[in-house]
Amino acid sequence: GQNIDQPTEMTATEGAIVQINCTYQTSGFNGLFWYQQHAGEAPTFLSYNVLDGLEEKGRFSSFLSRSKGYSYLLLKELQMKDSASYLCAVRDEGKLIFGQGTTLQVKP
């Protein structure tokens, strides 16, 4: 079967660091994506990992361990505009299999 788990909600303080975890069990694996989705808007691409290790992109980093079926998204120097849902998705052949998403609230 296909199963992707993320925490439902997280809260963090402006300027802090937050880590959003994602665990997966899927029949296929062609890479793992993180998307950001603000309320009422389309998901926008954040990061892609296919090999084990850390990918850094500005304030955002994403980590993958294929043997553990585990990824995390790290957000540094949090800003109020980072309040959004963060979606973990595994690529299985062409399609993306999404988790339920993690709603992050950044407080002043």
**Which residues contribute to the site for other proteins (CB under 8 A)?**
4, 30-31, 33, 35, 41-45, 48, 50, 87, 89, 91, 93-101
Using alpha carbons, select from 102, 107, 37, 44 the residue that is nearest to residue 74.
102
DSSP string, 54-104: EEEETTEEEEEETTTTEEEEEE-S--GGG-EEEEEEEEETTEEEE---EEE
Residue type, 52: D
By beta-carbon proximity to other proteins, the closer residue of 47 and 78 is 47
By beta-carbon proximity to other proteins, the closer residue of 58 and 94 is 94
By beta-carbon proximity to other proteins, the closer residue of 69 and 101 is 101
- What is the nearest approach in angstroms of other proteins to the Cβ of residue 28? 11
- What is the nearest approach in angstroms of other proteins to the Cβ of residue 70? 18
As beta bridge partners, residue 64 has 53, 71
Residue 57, both tokens? 């992109």
- What is the nearest approach in angstroms of other proteins to the Cβ of residue 43? 5
By beta-carbon proximity to other proteins, the closer residue of 57 and 77 is 57
Residue 106, both tokens? 């950044």
- What is the nearest approach in angstroms of other proteins to the Cβ of residue 47? 10
